[in-house]
Structure 1
Amino acid sequence: MSELATLPTTRDEDWRYADPQWLAAADPAALARWREVDVPAGTAISETREVAAGVERLRVLVGRGGSFALFCINAAGPYARAEVEVTLEEGAHFEFGGVTIGGGDARQEFVTRVVHAHPHATSNQTVRAVQWGRSTGNFLGRIEVVRDAQKTDAAQNFRAILLEKGATANTKPELEIYADDVKCAHGAAIGALDQTAAFYMAARGIPPEVARKLLIRAFVADAFAAIEDADMREAMLEKALSALGEEAA
């Protein structure tokens, strides 16, 4: 992705779901800044973070046999975008888990670009969105596999729950594959809470408000399932649920 010399607009594919008013008032120099992370060969790095309002951009190079894991909660507003660009060397791995959680008129998004630049690298992305009011949750995920990156195994999955009719979720998965011995997959689903599961729980005496909270909790937990530290996994889940407030009650 080239450095931004001018302000992007929603006519640009990578910004198609962004907040046009926010972009029009943004500082081009600020949007051009990236935080850089180099993961040395054979090293594992894991980060958890809560996305702030505005735009955050992260560029990562994962060395041979290394791994980088990133888990994010995006509950900020009125506009909050986390953009991640990752390049994987041979045998490297990238794990991403993200949750957008918003009400009111908030617009929150994750934008990822994962470049499998060498053979035997793997990547997995799991994004969940929970939106209500007139909020929007977005995920734009691009996977690129270069010609010699054989034995690549890459996947991305996006699911959204819309708690109210005015809420929106958008996804734009992209696969650009030039190698022929690879496994690449993506999936997406957007809808309301599972009423069949709610009915099943109600039939067993679980109050509706408790059932609702349990269903949302299980849904959000998918994004953090790959966090190895159990305490950190639980802490991220609780932070996400706290952003829901009464919507999870």
Structure 2
Amino acid sequence: MTGIATLPTTRDEDWRYSDGEYLAAASPDVVNHWRTLEVPAGETRSEHTFHASGHASGEEVDGMVDRLRVHVGKGGRFEAFKTIAGGKYARVEIEVTLEEGAHFEFGGVTLGGEDKVQEFVTRTIHAHPNATSNQVVRAVQWGQSTGNFLGRIEVARDAQKTDAAQNFRAILLEKGASANTKPELEIFADDVLCAHGAAIGQLDEQASYYMAARGIPPEIARKLLIQAFIGDAFEAIADDAERERMLEDTLANLNVEAV
């Protein structure tokens, strides 16, 4: 018997902060589609993606869902650096399973105004010993927009010497903007290092005052502070040119009214 694809709703825990209107109107085939990637043992694979459009292929509603499952072989490495800047609703979801000694590196930025809802959802499965993972997500929101990060780390009983970390920070440039985070740690091993951190606030007024006192115009000062803030998400990109490209493309979508 063939199963019938159903749509998630905001009552589902993993979709609790999503756009309910998009989910009600979207195609189940699009929302439930997963891409897959196999990283061979000892090798490195990476994705550097800028999501500027809100329309998925074949969709009429303004929204985008990109879901990726990755299996990283022993001693392998998977890197994903992504910016979400377009569309009324955009969700990037990554599920990674790590073999022994493998590594997962993730850097993500949401950049949204108006009433956009943008979110990263990750599930990192440490299935074997000595694997590592690091996730850095930054959200810059203004207008009535929302930036979300749901990050789940699972450590199996035999996955000793796991070292996993995730960090989320959000800057709300206007009062109507918001951000949500839901970090989860499920640990069954006893010799591990697992950490998460989260902070949501406004731009550092002290830093703005310091820059203004040295003659830097307020709009330039704000943009420099935002640049430094989102730069954290791309710090682990080894190639200098690629790191600069990701940063420049992201900053180019920073609404002038927001700064």
TM over 0.5: yes
The separation in 2 between residues aligned to 1:238 and 1:47, in whole angstroms, is 17
Preserved contact between residue 173 and residue 258 of structure 2 (Cα < 8 Å) = no
Matched to 1:132, the amino acid is W
Preserved contact between residue 129 and residue 161 of structure 1 (Cα < 8 Å) = yes
Over residues 162-211 of structure 1, what are the superposed CA-to-partner deviations in whole Å (9 max), with x where a residue is unaligned?
Answer: 00000010000000000000000000000010001111111222221111
Relative to 1, partners in 2 of residues 1:62 and 1:84: Cα closer, same or farther, differing over 3 Å?
same
The structural deviation recorded for 1:245 is 3.0
Relative to 1, partners in 2 of residues 1:165 and 1:248: Cα closer, same or farther, differing over 3 Å?
closer
* 3-state secondary structure, aligned to 2:254: helix
Identity across aligned pairs (percent)? Answer: 70
The separation in 1 between residues aligned to 2:254 and 2:4, in whole angstroms, is 34
Relative to 1, partners in 2 of residues 1:196 and 1:43: Cα closer, same or farther, differing over 3 Å?
same
Match of 1:165 among 159, 163, 175: 175
2:189 is the counterpart of 1:179: yes
Unaligned residue ranges in structure 2 (runs of 5+): 55-63
The alignment yields a C-alpha RMSD, in angstroms, of: 1.3
Which residue is equivalent to 2:19? 19
**TM-score, normalised with respect to structure 1:** 0.97
Preserved contact between residue 212 and residue 248 of structure 1 (Cα < 8 Å) = no
The structural deviation recorded for 1:58 is 0.4
The structural deviation recorded for 1:247 is 4.1
The separation in 1 between residues aligned to 2:39 and 2:138, in whole angstroms, is 26
* 3-state secondary structure, aligned to 2:248: helix
The separation in 1 between residues aligned to 2:44 and 2:19, in whole angstroms, is 35
Preserved contact between residue 10 and residue 17 of structure 2 (Cα < 8 Å) = yes
* 3-state secondary structure, aligned to 1:173: strand
| Bigger Cα displacement from structure 2, 150-159 vs 206-215 | 206-215
Matched to 1:164, the amino acid is E
* 3-state secondary structure, aligned to 1:9: coil
Which residue is equivalent to 2:57? none
Which residue is equivalent to 1:62? 72
The separation in 2 between residues aligned to 1:94 and 1:236, in whole angstroms, is 19
Preserved contact between residue 85 and residue 253 of structure 2 (Cα < 8 Å) = yes
The structural deviation recorded for 1:4 is 8.6
Preserved contact between residue 10 and residue 16 of structure 2 (Cα < 8 Å) = yes
| Bigger Cα displacement from structure 2, 21-30 vs 80-89 | 21-30
Preserved contact between residue 74 and residue 100 of structure 2 (Cα < 8 Å) = yes
**TM-score, normalised with respect to structure 2:** 0.93
Q: After the TM superposition, which parts of structure 1 deviate over 2 Å for at least 4 consecutive aligned residues?
A: none
Over residues 63-107 of structure 1, what are the superposed CA-to-partner deviations in whole Å (9 max), with x where a residue is unaligned?
Answer: 000000000000121000000000000000000000000000111
Which residue is equivalent to 2:227? 217
Preserved contact between residue 142 and residue 258 of structure 2 (Cα < 8 Å) = no
Over residues 97-130 of structure 1, what are the superposed CA-to-partner deviations in whole Å (9 max), with x where a residue is unaligned?
Answer: 0000000011100000000000000000000000
The structural deviation recorded for 1:45 is 1.2
The structural deviation recorded for 1:47 is 1.3
Preserved contact between residue 10 and residue 18 of structure 1 (Cα < 8 Å) = yes
The separation in 2 between residues aligned to 1:10 and 1:198, in whole angstroms, is 38
Which residue is equivalent to 2:93? 83
